[in-house]
Chain A
Amino acid sequence: MQINPKKCVACGNCTYVCPMGAIYIDPVKKRATINRDECVECYACFNGLSQEHLPPTVVRTVRKVFAAMRIRFEPEPDVCPTGAFEPDELKWPRIVRRAFSDPRVPHESTGIEGRGTEEVKTNDVTGRVGLNEVGFTIELGRPGVGTRFYEIQEMSRALARAGVAFEKKNPLTFLMSDVATGTIREDILNEKVLSAIIEIKVPVERAEEIVRIVKDVEERIDTVVTIGAGVRCDDNGEDRIVAPIFERLGYKLERAKTNTGLGKRHAQAAEPAREMVNS
């Protein structure tokens, strides 16, 4: 993302909307400026701000007059008065930032918007997570902190050492140079993204082990982690196996997404066991 200095009037509205806090008013240039190392190319500034397309010179003059009189015009806080944000053409490896940060862009590898897969959201059709299995989504960088691929690799390698299989269709798995070891390709390790999700599936008896591995890695990385755990309910719609495990580990299960099972299975539905890879 770029901010056109000929258009920017340094109103400062955009400095608040950046999820990474990467936009600031440069005191020398007197223009909004993006810290490109921290920018994750999420396009929240470009997509979220309304645009006015006012003449920059007029706006700057009015602002100067008001400032001299110690008067501050209070505009709507989510508006760029001159439409100064301009997407630039992203090249490799920077382009992976946008793939993992801008939800409007379907990831090339999965074809769906966002950073993960359908996980248990379509489990009624795919049968991806079966009885006595747990599908983990381990998301780094959320909420609003961000992460770099070398931190993600720390987690993926630890999980690989435990012999778990990674979700084949997850965008992160596509970026592994060695899936067996959880190694991510070297040229993107320093790239920053809003968040990334590692997806694995394990037998229910390994659920506690996975949680302990994740907690161990959390000590070594400088970001936040959110864990999601997808389970298949029994015929009565109950989960009497997995929830007690997490509660015993000290988790309070406040929120969940619940698949209602209304999806129709079609003849060409994918077989569930094919979706995980570890080599």
Chain B
Amino acid sequence: MTNTLHRFGDAESFHDDFIVFAMACKDGTGKYLGPDPLPDLKKFLQMALEFKPVNIGDPRHGGAIRPSRSMNPLAHWKRDNAPDFQAVIDGLTVVTTCAAVFDNVDAAEKFLAKVRAADLGLSVNISTSVDGADQCCHFAGIPRHSVGYSLGFEGKTEKIPNTQVTMLSTMCGHGMISHSLAKKMIDFVKENRRTPAAAAAVLSRFCSCGVFNPARAKRILEEARLHTE
């Protein structure tokens, strides 16, 4: 689905949001075309680490900051919010979409160039502002093949909360981050009950495919602390 496409915000708000994802194509019977793509998907994620992503993941297992099925009660006082990138790569056991999220155009450009040179044969997409993606493709020497535009949200938009809440919650395109939790994290930051980084980690755990951008979330939460819309 279009899980990275419809993020709320203007083009400027995506200056620290670049998602590069890879997927293998199936034929009409559901079989993957060409050789087994799993090793290439793992290679794709492994290559991303060199460029310091802020998240990586796949929709079957989640991102680099995950919930725990048996949390130690002491975690209430000292929670581990560090992303575990290697766990994502090691845990990739089935062919699915793999994503790497970067918080700067420089990293996205160089990663895309490296992916091109590796010639993995996977379909590779970049999801960000229209101009940002164009810039990355230009750097990597790639003419864009296709573009999927987001025309934004319409209809009964009065049902959507304010800008900052929606910017946070739509970073999980599957809708696993509720507006209520995003609002709660903004409130926690405003009351100094959580740091922006800790609040971003809470939200990140609900994203089921690892495309949530904790760096952009941290920035939005810091902005919301000073002024809530």
Contact = CB atoms under 8 A, between A and B. Distances in A.
B143 A251 contact: no
B155 A223 contact: yes
A126 B146 CA distance: 12
A95 interface: no
B137 A122 contact: no
B153 to A, nearest CB: 5
What DSSP secondary structure best describes chain A's contact surface?
loop
Contacts of A68: none
Contact of B73 (A52, A129, A225): A52
A50 B148 contact: no
Contacts of B146: 120, 123-124, 129, 230-233, 258-259, 261
B149 A145 contact: no
A103 B61 CA distance: 10
Contacts of B176: 19, 42, 44, 47-48, 103
B134 interface: yes
Interface in A165-216: 194-195, 197, 211, 215
Contacts of A224: 153-157, 159-160
A114 B1 CA distance: 5
B126 A262 contact: no
B1 A258 contact: no
Interface string A216-257: 001001111111111111011111001100100001111111
Nearest to A100: B1
Interface residues of B, number: 94
A257 B21 CA distance: 10
Given A44-B176, A104-B59, A225-B153, A253 B130 contact: yes
Contacts of A268: 27, 33
A53 interface: yes
Contacts of A262: 115-116, 119-124, 142
Contacts of A122: 23, 25, 123
Interface of A: 15-21, 42, 44, 47-54, 74-79, 101, 103-104, 111-126, 129, 135, 137, 139-140, 142-145, 194-195, 197, 211, 215, 218, 221-233, 235-239, 242-243, 246, 251-264, 266, 268-270, 274
Given A78-B181, A125-B123, A260-B124, 18 more contacts: A19-B179, A78-B67, A120-B146, A123-B123, A125-B33, A140-B155, A142-B6, A143-B6, A144-B178, A224-B153, A229-B148, A233-B145, A252-B10, A256-B128, A260-B125, A260-B142, A262-B121, A264-B34
14 contacts: A44-B206, A103-B176, A120-B148, A126-B25, A144-B175, A144-B179, A195-B175, A231-B146, A233-B147, A236-B143, A252-B10, A258-B130, A258-B137, A268-B33
